[in-house]
Structure 1
Amino acid sequence: MRRAIQTAAVASVLAAAAGSAAAEPPSFANNRADEDWSALRDPANRTGAAWERFKFIPLDATGESYLTLGTDLRLRFERYADNFDSPKPDETYGWARVMPYADLHLGSNLRVFGQMLGAFADRSALTEGPVDETGAELLQGFTEVSAPAGAGELSVRGGRQMVAYGSERLIGLRFGPNVPLSVDGVRTRLELGDWTADAFAYRPVANELGDFNDRSDRSRKVFGLYATRALPEINPKSGLDLYWIGYERQDASFDSGVADERRHTFGTRFFGWLDGWSWNHEAMLQLGSFGREKILAWSVATETRYTFSNVPLRPFVELKANIISGDGGPGGRLGTFNALFPKGKYFGEIGLVGPANLVNLHPVIGVSLGSGWSLSGAAVFYWRQSLEDGVYGNPGNLIRPSAGSHARYVGTQGEVVLGWEATQNVTLETSYALFDPGRFLRETGSGKTVHFAGGEIQFRY
């Protein structure tokens, strides 16, 4: 089965590379449900690419009802050496992922979307987890009904979905690992002028080995309101987010203990670009309860970039900086920030440290090499925000308790990424990264420098 998927993926990639389109059709998205190919109703918007015929298949004379078909295929390898989180072994492993979908529009007010997932891995039983392999599963399957609402539009979507809000600091697709995140639930959306507002209630899907056995995680749920206002007075890609996200989890585990968790996140995000500058700044406050303790946690996250548009290779420099609260010790209040369902590989390709109890600086530089090639390099410096709390992984799991250490510095990370967009359908990427443990990790366990290498080929249509 795995070999068949890999063979099909390579064959599709080579076929797409042999004939690229002469012009640019609408772009692809990591969440294929976000794509809108209705512009192809007008023949003037078509490019003549062979694969484009599958993006708009009219089902009536007017084209108001139509079908879109497509798929994602990805082959990826990764290697870790000298992992500080013992007893994980050194290993080189492969991931194979295929995600075909069908998007049916029955007139302008009814939509049915379905997407399958085949996710397979070849790695050690000591390290393989639910983000590596889940067999064949339903990734998305929802129905959406929409109708005019005054001067705007109201839509209701129910079923299994992939969901991302903002820059995926709290609710993301988990697209980088092999198994993306799905949720089961309902979303109601109102689009009115420059505003888009969602009300939602979801349970995450718990991924298991084996085919067609993934179910809603009954121990966790997330619900809330998320509103975005476009700021055309700055430019069409600038905006302001305002949100409240509720979260409940049974038997949550932090350095201070295990208990039921009820948490409310209140946040705002300001993002956009202007005259070469781009920014993505977010502030979050969390309140709630953890067993008998109260929760008071917070985070401030910033990304600021400048691109030298008129310079050869269009170089850019960027600084990301985060302050993410940790706990002050057992008893009193829980101060550990919970990032809920963040994007995968939150701080880079190596993906060892997650967004809890951290202060970090993350400078990035990059260039466009032409012909679809790009090159970037980054360094990340990590400190513990609280000396009474440990270090956590990307999904929020405790990977190293505080153990009484008074050391603040966690480690230094460096990485370089080379990418190539061969065609609109085919992308390739390779990366190398290392993580040098700081004093805290050396005092509380293994202090080896971790080396990571990764590479992938992806095909979409």
Structure 2
Amino acid sequence: MIDRRAGPQRKPERPVKRAAALLRGWQFVVGGYALCLAFSGHACAQSSPNPPPLTALRYGEDYSYLADPDARMGTWWEPLKYIPLDESSETYLTLGGEFRLRYEVYKNNNWGQQPAPDDGYLWYRALMAADFHFGPHVRVFGELIGAWAQGKEPFETPVDETGLDLLQGFADLAIPLGAGTVLTLRPGRQILSYGSERLISARYGPNVLRSFDAAKAFVEGNGWRIDGFYGRPVEPGLGDFNDSSDENISAWAAYGTTDLPLGTKAGLDLYYIGYDNEDATFNQGTGYERRHTIGARFFGTAQDWDWNWEAMYQFGTFADGDISAWSVASSTGYTFAEVPLSPHLGLRANIISGDRNPNNPNLQTFNPMFPKGKYFGELTLLGPENLINLHPTLDLQLGRGWSLGGAAVFYWRESKGDGIYDFGGTLIRGNGGSDAHFIGTQAEIVLTYEHSRNLNAMISYSQFYPGRFIKETGPSKTVHFIGTEVQLQF
């Protein structure tokens, strides 16, 4: 699968070179995990009192509590998180980073469709961040990414590799407005992530994260926040320090969220997102797209229940026609906390509109714009366009940091007049004259190990069994996928 915004591509490697790269890939994954275990040691398993969670964004982590020596627990990463720059406790530097090795193997990728149905490759990346705080009102944040791939067939794309580049670089100016309310202005290159990342995400699962050259402002108070931004996604180049704004695509948004007095961590999001693409492609053709999205998300936990429900409607213009598209997404779960292994049962269900008639200029295909990678699991052949899916899950806590997850995903086309797309928005199968709705079934199992807050590893195995639509429109072999990774964050 190739992101339609992927940019320039590389020539394929020779078979001998590729085989050597794959062998090195397994050595890197196993050796990297052993090295991380040796480096982390016993201190890695300790934890400071209420340290902030490690996320893909990194700029939201607050380590100012480490100014108090009594708050420190002696973990190996604490000296990196609060480096005083003067005698004040408010002027300091925080350093952070990530090292990830990920190896993926496909057999019959895209159901056996060329150019590379059988493939195995190594992704490896490093992220290094520096967060300068100059008192309570000014900060400067920067993050570098180094991301490379070995063995990718038929070529690497900027989703796989970007060399060494600036991932984030922005400044914050915080302006107190009184009554505990603060307005923050943030211009610069930055990762944007909202809600469940169904529409705007960091694209953390693939090798190269997504960032934006944007101007952002947000105001937050006690239990609420409103964001606004205008920006262009960064288009990664395959070389060093050659990433630039995508001149064909722009986005702007107003996004509000507020806490709700229901259970714990319950809230409501309301938002508007605007989107322009000068060279958009769908099953009915290519043209200029201006799209507006309005949506709401209701989420939270109460006792042993958890839920995340969202509804979105899109309108605008595409080429010579009008857009009218929609999606309803849900995730509901229950944890049997008193049962051995604390099983969590979940059900995700989505309905995502597709185009009714490719010969009619009006368009009903939903556009997820900037969705998260690994959207429907570790194996993500399909993107969230023209789909209905049911996705039951079961997660077990095995103890000592081990967990096991299993899932089945059943896919149908929402409309017979439209095809299916990958998570980058590329059309991978047109409707082909088929009147079949059923696309296929995906089964997946994931084993995860969390050695500590900083070090984790996983291995997954997935299969995708083609349904009638796949069988009627091209190659229809069963897809097999193995993914394994080790990650160190600090």
Q: Same fold (TM over 0.5)?
A: yes
Q: Tell me by how many angstroms 1:345 deviates.
A: 1.0
Aligned AA (2:68): D
**Is 2:54 the counterpart of 1:28?**
yes
Q: Note the residue ranges of structure 1 that are not aligned, 5 or more in a row.
A: none
In the other structure, the counterpart of 2:444 is 415
The answer to whether structure 1 residue 203 and structure 2 residue 232 are counterparts is yes
Alignment of 1:265-280 (within 5 A): 265-280=293-308
Equivalent residue for 2:343, pick from 312, 315, 339: 315
Alignment of 1:376-415 (within 5 A): 376-415=405-444
Alignment of 1:95-174 (within 5 A): 95-151=123-179, 152-174=181-203
Quote the Cα distance in structure 1 between the aligned partners of 2:224 and 2:76: 37
Aligned to 1:59: 85
Aligned position for 2:8: none
Question: Given the alignment of the two structures, is residue 185 of structure 1 paired with residue 214 of structure 2, yes or no?
Answer: yes
Partner in structure 1 of residue 278 of structure 2 = 250
Q: Deviations over 1:260-281 (max 9, x none)?
A: 0000000000000001000000
Aligned to 2:458: 429
Task: Give unpaired runs (5+ residues) of structure 2.
Answer: 1-23
Q: 1:47-100 CA distances to partner (integer Å, 9 max, x unpaired)?
A: 111221111112222311111011100001000001223222311110110001
CA distance in 2, matches of 1:169, 1:60: 42
Other-structure match for 1:358: 387
Q: TM-score, normalised by structure 2?
A: 0.91
1:371 has 2:400 as partner: yes
Contact persistence 1:354–1:396 (CA under 8 A): yes
Describe the superposition over 1:17-70 as per-residue Cα deviations: whole angstroms up to 9, x where unpaired: 453253345131121112111121222321111221111112222311111011
Aligned CA distance change for structure 1 residues 438 and 169 (closer, same or farther; 3 Å): same
Q: Note the alpha carbon deviations across 1:137-170, whole angstroms, 9 max, x for none.
A: 0010000110101320000111010110001000
2:5 alignment partner in structure 1: none
Q: How far 1:309 moved relative to its partner?
A: 1.1
Q: Does 1:19 align with 2:43?
A: yes
Using the aligned pairs only, state the percent identity.
50
> Which digits, 9 at most, give the CA deviation of each residue in 1:333-360, with x for residues without a partner?
2000000000001001111001000000
Residue 332 of structure 1 deviates from its aligned partner by: 4.1
TM-score (norm 1): 0.96
Equivalence for 1:48? 74
1: CA distance between counterparts of 2:193 and 2:88? 33
Q: Deviations over 1:385-421 (max 9, x none)?
A: 0000000000111010001110110010000000000
Cα contact 2:331–2:347 (8 A) shared by 1 = yes
1:287 equivalenced with 2:315 (yes/no): yes
Are positions 1:86 and 2:110 aligned together?
Answer: no
Alignment partners' CA distance in 2, 1:246 and 1:227: 15
2 CA distance for matches of 1:318 and 1:436?
A: 22
> For 1:37, which of 38, 44, 63 is the aligned residue?
63
